[in-house]
Amino acid sequence: MTTLAAAGAQDMKLAVMLVDIGVVLVAGAALGRLARKLRQPVVVGEIVAGILLGPSVLGLLPGNLTERLFPADVRPLLSAVSQVGLILFMFVVGWEFEKRLIRPHARLAAGVSLSSIAMAFGLGVALAPFLYDEHATVAGHHISFVAFATFIGTAMSVTAFPVLARILTENKLLDTRAGSLSLASAAIDDLLAWCLLAYVSALVTADGDYSDLAGIGLRSAAYVAGMLLVVRPLVARLVWRWAATERWSALLAVVCAGALTSAWLTTWIGIHAIFGAFLFGFVMPREPAMVLAEHLRKPMDHVSVVLLPVFFIVTGLGVDLGALTSGDLVALVAIIVVACAGKLAGAILPARLAGFSWREAKDLGLLMNTRGLTELIILNAAVSLGVLDGRMFTMLVIMALVTTAMAGPLLSRRRPVPAGTAGTSDAPGTASAAQVSGASRASEGPAAYGPDAAVDVLRPRG
């Protein structure tokens, strides 16, 4: 009887998890649709849906509804589902990293990206001493100031390439100088953000032991070299061979297994799993483009439609506005101000030096200030590493929501100078709007465009 009762309890947990996923999908779709009507990216609606279903709103109603809908013993199952969706999403992000977006604007994009990261990172580290004492202990474990300050700087430095793509599309900025430059700069930002997160992961894993940190660094370097020099050509050969014989089911299974295995390997090394998934996607071949998009990307989009929204709910369950103190509210305002100041100043200054008008430079700064999904991924990684407590996590999620939501309403309604017109020789404009549009639609993912949009991602561009 005891065994039967245990089996029945386990079945009930799974049943509750399935119902929860159904609730998540409906809530995410409803709030995502509302966000679109309000000229906001879908991700804003999905983040809000997670917060509404969490302790901040639903949990305040009579009957303890959040706990009843998402019981404590079911949340680890939801978290596991969300992590699978996240790993596959990060693989696709790496796969779609478009070097061709960066190449036409390389110097100026690198300048804007490095300037905005340096300014935001520096201001974040400068703010960290004022936040540290209240958040130095997480679940009974003391966090070193170096790890905490480095992560705060990293959180301030992020620009969300996926969300940015959606904003550019809806505001018809894809073929403008500010739009194309922001997309190229955000691509570099994303790459550097994952590297910073890998460093923070290694720092926390080493726990102050510099010999351990050096070992993690050496293993990471060997891993990256192996991926670029060994895995990349092997995967390219496999893809071409199996694509020629149309072994799509087997290829899809191998690719997913590769992403998951790479994620496991980076966890074993001492850096976060999402870095492994991203790098495996980065070394994936882009050709034959149309058939890969049709037979590999589409099925992965379908999986993401179901799994990725669970990530937003898991994030929302960790946001508790009611737990913030009056001092935390002051800290929240400071975090938002520092986050905006670093990104705006860091992007506007190099844009002005490159000959952009104030309106174009302001638009570029607002676009680089969007954080969205990329920020949430990094914040959840920090929680899993034990760097953030619940209150700091809540404040940083709100910062991500505010900085993402403010871009649309504040962008110039009158279109700036189209790409390719007056400007310096280094001004963006040589990349075609179609090229930028294809890559940006892909990065936003199925939640915004639907799986059919993915066909444009890897299509050869003339």
Exposed/middle/buried for residue 374 (C-beta within 10 Å: 0-12, 13-18, 19+): buried
pLDDT digits (tens, 9 = 90+) for 187-211: 788 778 778 888 877 777 766 666 7
Half-sphere exposure of 398 (CA within 13 A, CB side): 21
pLDDT digits (tens, 9 = 90+) for 344-353: 999 999 888 8
Block residue for tokens 């009887």: 1
pLDDT digits (tens, 9 = 90+) for 245-267: 888 888 888 888 999 999 999 88
Which CA distances in Å does 418 have to 180, 409, 414, 429, 435? 10, 20, 11, 8, 15
Q: Is the peptide bond before 288 cis (omega within 30 degrees of 0)?
A: yes
Q: What angle do CA 206, 209, 214 make, to 5 degrees?
A: 75
Block residue for tokens 């000959």: 355
The whole-number pLDDT of residue 433 equals: 43
The whole-number pLDDT of residue 438 equals: 43
Taking 80 as the threshold, does the pLDDT of residue 171 lie above it? Answer: no
Average pLDDT value for residue range 85-94:
83
The whole-number pLDDT of residue 239 equals: 85
User: Taking the model in full, what pTM does it have?
Assistant: 0.77
Mean pLDDT of the chain: 79
In the chain, the percentage of residues whose pLDDT exceeds 90 is 14
Q: For residue 51, what are its two tokens?
A: 């917060």
The whole-number pLDDT of residue 456 equals: 38
d(CA 259, CA 401) in angstroms, rounded, equals 29
Average pLDDT value for residue range 106-120:
86
The whole-number pLDDT of residue 3 equals: 60
Q: How confident is the model at residue 441 (pLDDT cuts 50, 70, 90)?
A: very low
Taking 60 as the threshold, does the pLDDT of residue 391 lie above it? Answer: yes
Average pLDDT value for residue range 172-179:
75
Least confident of 97-101, 105-109, 159-163: 97-101
The 8-class DSSP code of residue 430 comes to S
Closest residue by Cα to residue 363 from 378, 382, 343: 343
Q: Are 276 and 266 in contact (CB under 8 A)?
A: yes
The whole-number pLDDT of residue 128 equals: 93
